[in-house]
Structure 1
Amino acid sequence: MVSRIGKEIEISPVELGSQIAKKVKINLASGTPDPKKMPVREIKEAYAEVIDEFGPKVLFYPGAGGQEELIKEIEVNFLPLLGLSKQKNEKIVVTSGAQHAMELLGKYFLENDIVAVENPTFIETFNALKLRSSSTVPISLKSDGIDVDELEMLLKIVKINLLYVIPNCHNPAGVNMSEYKRKRLVELAELYDFYIIEDDPYRPIAGSVPQPIKNFDKSGRVIYVSSFSKIIAPGLRVGFILAREDISNKISLLEQLDFSTSTINQYVVARLIKKGLLNEKSKELYAYYKGKMKVLIDSLKEKRMDKFNESMCGFFLLLDLEKDSWNVFHKAVEKGLSFVPAKPFFLRGGDTMARLSISVATHDEIIEGVKLLYESVKSV
């Protein structure tokens, strides 16, 4: 006797790939940032500083919606890095990362409603919406983002409540949405009465990308979600939502139900923002991961495994193996390689697709991983 969600929830391919990656030599599966680039020393110093300055206060229960110190630092010093500014009728809500934000938004917006998503989409964040919706509709993803013409054709016949998009460094496809499409999405939201969730955790390490969809929003149709996981460390579990005040107030109450966002971690992130660490790391991390991605792309082309859109930024590249990706995956694991079979990222198609990640692998491991992948494809 369990709920529908209890029956439907399953292990994600990302979690499966990551579990197996711990047992093999080469990890092209993980989505965690490179541990070598996590500012461990600065984080350690920040913990000591906030405890010395604020004492037991940093160990209290967190307040609803986030600590004032962190909200202020996000507004004053982090939103400008993202190319955003908070409007008078908007409010920031601190969450335990982007994943938690999606869970809260699903609770607030959905009760057997229809959700539209890019095809493919990021399965782990999308599941929070899928499990609370009556149906989910896939919209094709192009090299410049979601197919807005296909979306509009759908909207003429189907009433949706939410559209979920990843505009920068798309996970798993690695593409960036064009500015034209960002503007068009807001126009469609106004015309057809739906909300847009803009999931944007990679912008701090994305380099030069078009301005956020949120910037074109004049009536609160866009809910912006971000995270500090990619630029600081995912284990701190700190992210935030920027939304119209009436929405944010309700999300704050939902966030308070689980008290999940660590008080001391909020103070630590606030201190790191205040000290200018995030501005320093932004350009450095973009160049670092871009260099790794070039190694992956060059290695794939050398093996003539060239059925992919070149990833623009972030950690991921979506490759068509032209064979069942699960069969290739099992062969690869035998050879000491883990990646993520990408079929579950697709609501339509995707049987031969693989998500490759450059986040934790070294240059030599990426080259060797492609060699093992090539051999695995040939052996299927």
Structure 2
Amino acid sequence: MVSRIGKEIELSPVELGSQTAKKVEINLASGTPDPRVMPLKEIKEAYEQVIDEYGSKVLFYPGAGGQEELIKEIKNIVLPSLDLSAKESEIVVTSGAQHAMELLAKYFLENDTIAVENPTFVETFTPLKLRSNVIVPISLDSNGINVDELEMLLKIVKIKLLYVIPNCHNPAGVNLCEERRKKLVELASKYDFYILEDDPYKPIAGSTPKPIKYFDKEGRVIYISSFSKIIAPGLRIGFVIAREDISQKLALLEQMDFSTSTINQYVVDRLIRKGIVTSRMKSLSEHYRKKMSILADSLQDEGFKDFNPPKCGFFLLLDLKKDSWKVFLEAVKLGLSFVPAKPFFLRGGETMARLSISVATEEQIVEGVKRLKKAWLNS
């Protein structure tokens, strides 16, 4: 008595890893930003300031597609820092990037064929999967999605959407090179499909190539980002940049659930205007890069060498060379959690593990890898 989506939806491996992480000493599973660098003082002040200035207005129902004040700050301050530009009418505020993906799936898909990177981020991919008929995996390497493989596919299969994570890939940690970004735009034009560019990590990534959207002249790229990594995920504020006919429809879909908090939009607007967002970009990229270097060095020290060194972000994808689920079960006994990465893959991935540096301290990362080695030996 339920829908196909109701039958197919299941617990994500990320949620499983996060639930397990609450019960262990060392968390190499969570994708939550480091709580030690969240701007708690500034967020608290922003809540007080917007309530004092706007009163009950900040507790009204949110307007369709986002508050005007926040949209202006995204256009004038945030987008230039991301090497992008857009008209205000092309920007839609959402309850984080995850909400944006749900809206885009509703707008675009009805039993269609789509292509995704293999591996891909399972939680944002799920709304697309549940509304698609055929999903085609495209291989990923140290330079991002394999565009030659994609082009071979496009010669024989018609797709509606391509979903990509160009920066600090989750779970692989790689960046898509600029040459391939340009090629994707060319392919979208030639073979008539849209690109969903999921880019929540660019604000903390340091130096990266320009967004795929930067090279888009036909409105075929929909850009999705979030303030979750640069400020805090619990605020649930993200945004989409899309061609105006698409953004207008997304705004109407966004209004259907009224989920994007009015007061949180005002708070993020205030934090942008105070320079909190742009000032944190450099420091956070250095913070996470240092922690990732510690993880990579620790893995090498313990004999784990089968991974592409991550360019930025939170995640490293490690080939354990044995069933990662069995290693995970042994790791939990030793007080360590990570994410067995098979569900991130449409093909393969049984031996892959996603390790995160976001929540653990530097000391916990080193100790966590030692426990991972013990779990590997015990499995």
Q: Per-residue displacement from partner, 1:297-347 (whole Å, max 9, x unpaired)?
A: 000000110100000100000000000000000000000000000000000
Residue in structure 2 matched with residue 374 of structure 1 by the alignment = 373
**One-letter amino acid of the counterpart of residue 85, structure 1:** S
**One-letter amino acid of the counterpart of residue 55, structure 1:** G
Tell me the TM-score normalized by structure 2. 0.99
Deviation of 1:221 (Å): 0.1
Residue in structure 1 matched with residue 193 of structure 2 by the alignment = 194
After superposition, residues 228-267 of structure 1 pair within 5 angstroms as 228-267=227-266
Q: Per-residue displacement from partner, 1:12-55 (whole Å, max 9, x unpaired)?
A: 00000000000000000000000011100000000010011111
CA distance in 1, matches of 2:292, 2:53: 41
Residue in structure 2 matched with residue 308 of structure 1 by the alignment = 307
Residue in structure 2 matched with residue 44 of structure 1 by the alignment = 44
CA distance in 1, matches of 2:50, 2:140: 44
Q: Assess if the C-alpha contact under 8 Å between 2:75 and 2:87 holds in 1.
A: no
Residue in structure 2 matched with residue 215 of structure 1 by the alignment = 214
SS of residue in 1 equivalent to 2:196: strand
Aligned residue-pair number: 379
Q: Which runs of 4+ in 1 moved over 6 A?
A: none
CA distance in 1, matches of 2:2, 2:175: 40
1:10 lines up with 2:6 in the alignment: no
CA distance in 2, matches of 1:23, 1:81: 39
After superposition, residues 280-295 of structure 1 pair within 5 angstroms as 280-295=279-294
SS of residue in 1 equivalent to 2:116: strand
Say if 1:87 and 1:57 are closer, same or farther in 2 by CA, change over 3 A. closer
CA distance in 1, matches of 2:83, 2:54: 31
**One-letter amino acid of the counterpart of residue 191, structure 2:** Y
SS of residue in 2 equivalent to 1:298: helix
Q: Per-residue displacement from partner, 1:207-263 (whole Å, max 9, x unpaired)?
A: 000000001100100000000000000000000000000000000000000000000
After superposition, residues 1-380 of structure 1 pair within 5 angstroms as 1-86=1-86, 91-380=90-379
CA distance in 2, matches of 1:275, 1:282: 14
Which blocks of at least 5 consecutive residues in structure 2 are unaligned?
none
SS of residue in 2 equivalent to 1:7: helix
Deviation of 1:87 (Å): 5.1
CA distance in 2, matches of 1:275, 1:379: 52
**One-letter amino acid of the counterpart of residue 129, structure 1:** L
Which blocks of at least 5 consecutive residues in structure 1 are unaligned?
none
CA distance in 1, matches of 2:101, 2:114: 13
The CA RMSD over aligned residues, in Å, is 0.7
SS of residue in 2 equivalent to 1:314: coil
**One-letter amino acid of the counterpart of residue 58, structure 2:** V
CA distance in 2, matches of 1:210, 1:244: 22
CA distance in 2, matches of 1:178, 1:48: 43
CA distance in 1, matches of 2:111, 2:348: 24
SS of residue in 2 equivalent to 1:5: helix
CA distance in 2, matches of 1:36, 1:364: 14
Q: Percent same amino acid among aligned pairs?
A: 73
CA distance in 1, matches of 2:378, 2:52: 59
Deviation of 1:83 (Å): 1.0
SS of residue in 2 equivalent to 1:116: strand
Q: Per-residue displacement from partner, 1:51-102 (whole Å, max 9, x unpaired)?
A: 11111110000000000000000000100111111158x6100000000000
**One-letter amino acid of the counterpart of residue 67, structure 2:** Q
**One-letter amino acid of the counterpart of residue 31, structure 1:** G
Q: Per-residue displacement from partner, 1:108-166 (whole Å, max 9, x unpaired)?
A: 00000011000000000000100000011100001000000000000000000000000
SS of residue in 2 equivalent to 1:268: helix
**One-letter amino acid of the counterpart of residue 287, structure 1:** E
SS of residue in 1 equivalent to 2:80: coil
**One-letter amino acid of the counterpart of residue 331, structure 2:** A
CA distance in 2, matches of 1:358, 1:146: 24
SS of residue in 2 equivalent to 1:79: helix
CA distance in 2, matches of 1:378, 1:15: 26
CA distance in 1, matches of 2:182, 2:64: 33
**One-letter amino acid of the counterpart of residue 154, structure 2:** L
**One-letter amino acid of the counterpart of residue 36, structure 1:** R
SS of residue in 1 equivalent to 2:5: helix
CA distance in 2, matches of 1:266, 1:362: 31
Q: Per-residue displacement from partner, 1:339-360 (whole Å, max 9, x unpaired)?
A: 0000000001000000000001
SS of residue in 2 equivalent to 1:51: helix
SS of residue in 2 equivalent to 1:44: helix
Tell me the TM-score normalized by structure 1. 0.99
**One-letter amino acid of the counterpart of residue 110, structure 2:** E
CA distance in 1, matches of 2:45, 2:134: 47
Q: Assess if the C-alpha contact under 8 Å between 2:67 and 2:265 holds in 1.
A: yes
